[in-house]
Amino acid sequence: MYIDTFKVFCDLAETGSFSKAAVVNSITQSAVSQQIRALETKFQVTLVERGRRNFALTPEGSAFLSASREILEVYNNLDRRLHELRDVVAGELRIASIYSIGLHELPPYLKAFRERFPEVEVHVEYRRSQQVYTQVLAGDVDLGLVAYPVKRNGLLIEIFSEDRLVLICHPNHPLASRKRMRLEELHGEKFIAFEPDLPTRKVIDRHLREHSVEIDHAMEFDNIETVKRAVEIESGVSIVPANTVRAEVEGGLLAALEIEGTKMSRPLGVVTKRNRARSPAHKEFIEALKKEQGKLVAVAA
């Protein structure tokens, strides 16, 4: 079926690798090559420049990629459009989420949504932030969930939650017996940080500079889970979103303190494609976010 082949071609263009496209589609690398050659034979064009060290599409390949995406979007939306005609909350809902939201924020929403709408098949994919934007824009998913959402052409962004940032430390740390502290008290502390290019790290660094706080960057990691583990083994303190450490605090593995004198929070946003029809399931999921957190705040793009 050409639909499957169009998807293979799109995945090849996205990954820039025959082997990666094969993995994504659970087929062999040889099968990917055969399907691309079949497309080239069918339409009598060359889609991929061969013999180059770096992967590249021909001009015809770029045009074919755009058309393939349109075809896939129409095909993937058929089920939704049919359900819209009957206004039935059923079918498939595809969500792409960054790891921290998917692991800590999303589960309660999903549980309540699935109980209320058992006919909806919800698929959640865990991705890095940039991949979430790309998948929503390409129509590969119905909506995306990101932290510190940024404006993008063609996308609608709505803030659905503000997760406050808290200081975490080991229960044996001198600060652990307290409920709150001021940022200035971190001066000279060994600090477990996020990597410099992550939005949460940038926010924390800005607040530290504003309060003239100098810390000892003991370690840097690219995800919240590893940061928490490092604090658990007494490698230092850190600042993380409160919802991501609720279980560890309740279990006595970590202590969390409110930060006084400055508002530090992590906005969470739901990303959808502009001018794209929303299925009943899509609408109900967005409505569930609104009911839980109050009216969503739109960010113009």
Would you say 236 and 219 are in contact if contact means Cβ atoms under 8 Å apart? yes
- How many other CB atoms are there within 10 angstroms of residue 270's CB atom? 24
Handedness of CA 51, 55, 59, 64 (dihedral sign): positive
pLDDT (0 to 100) of residue 82: 66
Report the pLDDT averaged over residues 157-184.
Answer: 94
How many other β-carbons are positioned within 10 Å of the β-carbon of residue 88?
Answer: 15
How many C-beta neighbours within 10 Å does residue 151 have? 9
pLDDT at 295: 45
Burial class (CB in 10 A: 0-12, 13-18, 19+), 95: buried
Would you state the pLDDT for residue 87? 63
Structure tokens at 27: 């087929």
C-beta of residue 123 within 8 angstroms of C-beta of residue 106:
no
Confidence of residue 90 (pLDDT cuts 50, 70, 90): confident
Tokens 């998807």 -> residue: 7
Terminal-residue alpha carbon distance, the chain: 37
- 108, pLDDT greater than 50: yes
Taking the C-alpha atoms of residue 198 and residue 16, their distance in angstroms, rounded to an integer, is 25
Give the per-residue pLDDT at 195.
93
Instruction: Report percent pLDDT > 70 for the chain.
Output: 92
Residue 301 banded pLDDT, cuts 50, 70, 90 = very low
Higher pLDDT, 293 or 160: 160
pLDDT of residue 294 exceeding 50, the answer is: no
Q: What value does the mean pLDDT of the chain take?
A: 88
SS3 136: helix
Which class for 275: exposed (0-12), middle (13-18), buried (19 or more C-beta within 10 A)?
exposed
Q: Which residue has the higher pLDDT, 91 or 171?
A: 171
Residue 261 CB-density burial (10 A; 0-12 exposed, 13-18 middle, 19+ buried): exposed
Task: Report d(CA 267, CA 165) in Å as an integer.
Answer: 10
Domains and CATH numbers, the chain: 2-76 (1.10.10.10), 79-145+274-299 (3.40.190.10), 162-266 (3.40.190.290)
DSSP tag of 184: G
pLDDT at 84: 59
Q: Do residues 231 and 172 lie in contact, with contact meaning Cβ atoms separated by under 8 Å? A: no
**Residue 90 φ then ψ, to 5°:** -155, -175
pLDDT band at 133 (very low <50, low <70, confident <90, very high): very high
The mean per-residue pLDDT over the stretch 119-126 comes to 92
| Tokens coding 9 | 């071609």
Query: What is the pTM (predicted TM-score) of this model?
Result: 0.65
pLDDT tens profile 32-87: 899 989 888 888 999 988 776 778 899 998 999 998 888 888 887 777 666 655 56
Residue 297 in this model has a pLDDT that exceeds 60: no
